[in-house]
Amino acid sequence: MIVEYVRYTIPPDRAAAFEAAYADAQASLAAAPQCLRYELARCTEEPASYVLRIEWTSLADHMTGFRTGPHFPAFFAAVRPFVECIAEMRHYEPTAVQGVAG
């Protein structure tokens, strides 16, 4: 598994449209067999900052399988207006340091 993190800086007047775009785009993520889980979070201290977290089956499955597959065009069409707002986009491998607290 690989985890993709995408940090966005969204102007306040575009926040509702951004969240609506990802509400539409989530159908493509949910349908893609390469996608295991996804989550969009908004920063409470800096509301213009968002982080998209997507778990993919592998880096190759994301970069090749999803991006060249049938679900990518609709996904990209929904989020394309916000591509210029990406501050960072990276892939990470989970480490052994994990758990459930409480």
Domains and CATH numbers, the chain: 2-92 (3.30.70.100)
- Residue 69 confidence (pLDDT): 98
pLDDT per residue as tens digits for the range 69-82: 999 999 999 999 99
Do the beta carbons of residue 61 and residue 67 sit within 8 Å?
Answer: no
Q: Return the ∠ at Cα 32 (arms to 56 and 9), rounded to 5°.
A: 60
Q: Considering the entire predicted model, what is its pTM?
A: 0.94
- Residue 99 confidence (pLDDT): 94
Regions of the chain with pLDDT less than 70:
none
As a whole number, the mean pLDDT across the chain is 97
